[in-house]
Structure 1
């Protein structure tokens, strides 16, 4: 089920809410178990063949987490570390097999001239997210002595349906106090109304904005991957359209996840903070996919040595972290190059700041013209990198990248857009409107906090707000159903 479908909105969500709060009045532990079961069912609708894999992964990591925490408490640090390494390795091996096995075999065949085949390995949806969530749990069990006693709470922590398919990557300490709090299982009208309004914002971003601009991105990238050459205008329009599509697609999912979770009185961490308003690439990565950036920093960059072993080692650690972060998104050299580009950007950014010094940085930051220049350069760098992220072939990405440069030759006809029946003028207008919204409007995190405060302070607004939100949800889902073009979220592929 997609969050944008009638089956989810009209069937799964109301039944799960009724079961959760109905049981929560009497036995919070039963309500937690019921939500765990509903989340597994939510996953099972997507991929029933992998439900046992998911449950086996949860059971194995839960057991390992208890063993690690117990060994640590008994001051058997060496044993705890061995179990932690074993658990992390098992999770990475599972991820590597399902996500990278065919990629490895294909590249090995290309190098050796052999024709080895592994067969089709179907990627379990959400495996990157539930694997990283559990790796963080095992690392925290070793480093901090985390010990989870309730299997139902741990299972809910991993499978919690608002985040299961596309994040955010959760930490045990963020969720367990909420699952243990009896207040979580009692109906709270302010949380419900605010959550519903946040969900509507995300639904609008996905159905109207992201899906609205996506045809222009597809009309350029798909034929370019197949070997066609776009015009200068088509190349820029396609690159900008995808830049805005992935922004509102992922931002919309993040809003919906936070809003849905708020219905259950549970707060998810913010995962998206107006990244296209960033004035440096470091700032961008503090705003884009915040939970993944934090995970890569805490469990990879710092583990590699961070900035503790000199500048050269620091830059190598940055590059390695971003390359692996790119590979996390998918088994493709395009993703590797996307990560390598961002690693290069970060190294240049950190090197420039080191050359400038703190005093000059502060003076530059006070100049309006410098901030505009820094913002424009950051956004341009991000747009260039998105081309490798979206293209399905390296040749296609390089073809589109070359087409972004004016050659001085007479402009040709926008054949790719004409064949798709898409007027260029409308595409540019959509890009202008969506781009203006992305770089000027307040982000959903701030809006959501204000909505929650209003619902708590003004109970009289709740009924009106809830009714308006339900009407908006109904209209958006109806629009999504009527156009017969239901699309999954981009990050479902990772």
Structure 2
């Protein structure tokens, strides 16, 4: 059951909201908290009832460690908690990966364990590690079990983030939050949810067949014509953008229906002028977690430039591995670590100031933007490909290995080139020139600290956003109703509903 499924929209969400409104009417704070916990656990159990036991064990064990750390600030207890959390993650997510690599290196035949990856284990593991860290550092005092449990399992953010910290949500689990401005909260949340549903079902899933077809051929070692290879790469670049953006919007919207604001996790990353800016916009909460709990403890930038670049690379390597047990993800992380190091070195040397003497600022801006986007697209190839062979085939094809020769196997795909390039122009316009959903709903504070995280480099569109920003009105209601109907009709047309890409991590 995904957010974009008919089961979720028709069978799960309405009764959860109805009971929530009833408990809100009764002014029963504890009842609301436990109801949302029960709904969240039912949502998780829909995927895998057996792994619900693991989730409950993890929540209970970490809450106990939290209580112990409140009594005494023991580094041993903190370390034990971190090792325990990471141990579960390593076993379920990376055991078979490690065994496979040992077999490949040593020529052994150790049988794989065939472990099924528990849904969301990467996300709830990171959240609970941060909670233990914050408890140890004295940033958390008393927290009752029900609110801690809801902090971990709250269904809008449980499966694929954002990675929330305790300061983001636990203070909001109060009757005052649940009961204020219920009509406006629902309208704002429903708007974000509908926008996200459209992004996922119509745009991301609509363009996915192009990327899937091309990458499948690349995995088979089939050299591709230049335009087809670029078509596959551009299609996946758009697909993952709108898939993750759609999920983030839907998560924000669902939480807001209950009066809860989540942190901003996606902020038009393809508008970034450099790779540092990209990571301030893409999966923001993961970037913050890696910075606060890995990069800074490693030494950050406090021990000289060389150590800084090493720390950046290590952080991104592990960030890549967090996404999945595959060397492709590791290499994707390595690429971004190298990108970030080059970006910081370039800024430190100051060559960019010389460019401003010879070139118009707009030319420099466009060049940096294009270079950043190209680097991101190259990295996405390794993220999407199932093997290095597939990624290598894509890259070689993109840069002319097969020219424009069309084998029969390519012709059999029956890809509509003209339609693809037309729709790509439309999608590109949306990405680069239109306000995002947070900007559209900015009047009603759609996220936590949204003002400090909004794009401040595009002031020219500020008046446009202000003039056409969303508000509870007849016109906007009709527009969102139309968007929702289009999305639902598309769901009915699909042969099979696809999960969000980040559900796999």
Using the size of structure 2 for normalisation, the TM-score is 0.91
Q: Is the 8 A contact 1:21 1:186 kept in 2?
A: no
| Aligned match of 1:13 | 13
SS of 2:497 mapped into structure 1 = coil
CA distance in 1, matches of 2:230, 2:20: 48
SS of 2:263 mapped into structure 1 = coil
1:472 deviates by: 4.0
Q: Residue 439 of structure 2 is aligned with which of 446, 451, 456?
A: 446
CA distance in 1, matches of 2:357, 2:299: 31
CA distance in 1, matches of 2:231, 2:88: 39
1:357 deviates by: 7.2
Q: Please show how residues 135-174 of structure 1 align to structure 2 within 5 Å.
A: 135-174=129-168
Give CA-to-partner distance per residue, 1:309-330, whole Å, 9 cap, x none.
Answer: 1111110000000000000000
Give CA-to-partner distance per residue, 1:409-465, whole Å, 9 cap, x none.
Answer: 7520165553222212222222221122111111111112236699xxx99945775
Q: Is the 8 A contact 1:189 1:462 kept in 2?
A: no
CA distance in 2, matches of 1:33, 1:451: 27
CA distance in 2, matches of 1:404, 1:450: 43
| Aligned match of 2:255 | 261
Instruction: Specify whether residues 145 and 451 from structure 1 end up closer, same or farther in structure 2 by C-alpha distance, changes over 3 A only.
Output: closer
Q: Please show how residues 2-401 of structure 1 align to structure 2 within 5 Å.
A: 2-26=2-26, 27-72=28-73, 79=74, 81-185=75-179, 188-356=182-350, 367-401=361-395
| Aligned match of 1:75 | none
Instruction: Specify whether residues 218 and 364 from structure 1 end up closer, same or farther in structure 2 by C-alpha distance, changes over 3 A only.
Output: farther
Q: Is the 8 A contact 2:195 2:249 kept in 1?
A: yes
SS of 2:162 mapped into structure 1 = coil
CA distance in 2, matches of 1:178, 1:381: 39
Q: Residue 499 of structure 2 is aligned with which of 480, 485, 488?
A: 488
CA distance in 2, matches of 1:321, 1:87: 21
Q: Is the 8 A contact 1:125 1:492 kept in 2?
A: yes
Which sits farther off after the overlay, 371-380 or 149-158? 149-158
Instruction: Specify whether residues 17 and 318 from structure 1 end up closer, same or farther in structure 2 by C-alpha distance, changes over 3 A only.
Output: same
Instruction: Specify whether residues 355 and 138 from structure 1 end up closer, same or farther in structure 2 by C-alpha distance, changes over 3 A only.
Output: same
CA distance in 1, matches of 2:13, 2:101: 43
Q: How many pairs were matched up?
A: 483
CA distance in 1, matches of 2:393, 2:129: 38
CA distance in 2, matches of 1:34, 1:174: 20
CA distance in 2, matches of 1:159, 1:399: 41
RMSD: 2.3
Which sits farther off after the overlay, 241-250 or 62-71? 62-71
1:149 deviates by: 2.6
1:12 deviates by: 0.8
1:244 deviates by: 0.5
Instruction: Specify whether residues 93 and 182 from structure 1 end up closer, same or farther in structure 2 by C-alpha distance, changes over 3 A only.
Output: same
Which sits farther off after the overlay, 20-29 or 154-163? 20-29
Instruction: Specify whether residues 271 and 414 from structure 1 end up closer, same or farther in structure 2 by C-alpha distance, changes over 3 A only.
Output: farther
Q: Is the 8 A contact 1:280 1:378 kept in 2?
A: yes
Q: Is the 8 A contact 1:165 1:492 kept in 2?
A: yes
> For structure 1, which runs of at least 5 residues remain unmatched after alignment?
73-78
Q: Is the 8 A contact 1:36 1:160 kept in 2?
A: yes
